[in-house]
Amino acid sequence: MKPIPENQQQALVARLMNACGGSYSPETRRKYFISGPQWAAAYQGQALFHAPTRPAIGFEEILRKYAEIGIGYWATHDTDVIPTEALGKDAQWEIVDRIQKALGENGVKCSMVTTETFHHAVWAAGPAAEAPGVRDYAAFRVRNTVDIGHHLGAGFAVYWPGSLGYYVQGAIDETDSLRWYAEAINAACERDIEVARQKGRPVLKHCLEAKPFEPQAEILLPTSDAMLAFIASGLLTHPEMVGLNPEYLHELMWGAAPRAALARALLAGKLFHFDINDGYRLKHDVDIGIGLVNPLDWLKVLVLLRSHGYNGPFNLDFKPPRTTSQFGVFEVSFPTAVDRFITLWEMAGEVISDPIIKEATDALKAGGEVADSAGAEALTKANRELLTLHELIAHRLVQILLGVHRGRVYSV
Ligand code: 3MF
Ligand code: MG
Ligand code: MG
């Protein structure tokens, strides 16, 4: 192939995207509770040690693009859209009104708001720092985010605490930091109750998001399970308002099985919100688009969530790769992430109604025929052949992922 002139490259990408097929209409995409974060679309491709590769882009354009794609919900950090110095001031409300107008014009809803408690230098020692002034400021910030959330009609508030100021072990007392962190969550919940009452709206669902490591050193609440223990610790004044926003990759990063982590959250009734993306075990937070690394695991995750009637948001917390252009972000990155999610979700429905998986599962649950009070040997023998079904089910899941169950075969 000859080198492709710059002015023909977008057309090439668009033509090949079209040739890929398998995309859904914006109307279909809007039927799913999929949210697009402001920060994901605005991510300029900068990484530790690496310069940005894309120009800046504001919320007006992002909302227009999300609407065109069919992403019906939007989420934002306070400082993604409001300069830190304007927070809580009149200038903030002017921006919030502009956001409201842009949401209305594009038919996009604000589903979630979140407070940035990690990027600004004020958080150098975390939002639960020793200095009372920093903690008061954190309380102001989360309360202010609650106000913005109610104003924009959000149903969820998320808290990713960043690193909680934990560079050096022994320099802080972890129990102090956790108490102080709880105070900020309590301030948000108390403000929420007040505003919800004034506005006649339901209170927000407050969701804690864990990440095991990065960008700094040790993390006080590294996993969703740690967050569950924190919610149940007695430190929160309104534990019933607080649940989880697990992120698929954050669980994978510490070596967990995301599906098992989600199962524990479901059992606790705390799976409120879910950040969807992909990546690699025991590495940094690469935030690759859903299904590009672990599509089979994703299928299994969605089977679990569909089986248990999860109906919260699926938040596209991924980062379009540094190699993707601004054009590519909205022509390739977001639509394909949404479409892979929809395909996997619908496939999960196929798994649930698949007669082979169903019969195999029923047989496993029925167990082998055995006399009452049989001992270990007899029980082992009675179930021996049935247990092969575990592998058969795993094979069937792969077949469904690959479309083999619909008769796709390879002749050799
Ligand atoms: C970091 C994250 C965060 C959180 C966000 C939500 C920037 O790895 O995943 O995204 O999701 O702060 O509150
Ligand atoms: Mg996240
Ligand atoms: Mg992340």
Please give the structure tokens belonging to residue 78: 């306070």
Rounded to 10 degrees, the C-alpha dihedral 55/285/183/194 comes to 50
Q: Is the pTM of this model over 0.95?
A: yes
Question: Which pLDDT score is estimated for 347?
Answer: 98
Averages of pLDDT over runs of 10 residues in the chain (412 residues) are 98 98 97 99 92 98 98 99 98 98 98 97 94 98 99 98 83 95 98 98 98 82 97 98 98 97 98 98 95 98 98 98 98 98 98 98 97 91 97 98 91 84
**Measured CA angle at 41 (ends 293, 18), to 5 deg:** 65
Question: Which pLDDT score is estimated for 162?
Answer: 87
Please give the structure tokens belonging to residue 145: 């985010």
Backbone angles phi, psi at 351, to 5 degrees: -60, -45
Ligand 2 center from residue 201 Cα (angstroms): 26
Question: Which pLDDT score is estimated for 214?
Answer: 76
Question: Which pLDDT score is estimated for 341?
Answer: 98
**Atom in ligand 1 nearest the alpha carbon of residue 118:** 12
Ligand 3 center from residue 165 Cα (angstroms): 18
Question: Which pLDDT score is estimated for 371?
Answer: 87
Residue nearest to ligand 1 atom 4, measured at CA: 160
Q: Looking up tokens 């910030």, which residue turns up? A: 141
Q: Is the CB of 339 under 6 A from ligand 1?
A: no
Q: Is the CB of 39 under 6 A from ligand 1?
A: yes
Q: Is the CB of 114 under 6 A from ligand 1?
A: yes
**Atom in ligand 1 nearest the alpha carbon of residue 214:** 8
Question: Which pLDDT score is estimated for 374?
Answer: 83
Q: Is the CB of 78 under 6 A from ligand 1?
A: no
Which of the residues are catalytic?
77, 80
Q: Are 379 and 370 in contact (CB under 8 A)?
A: yes
Question: Which pLDDT score is estimated for 215?
Answer: 67
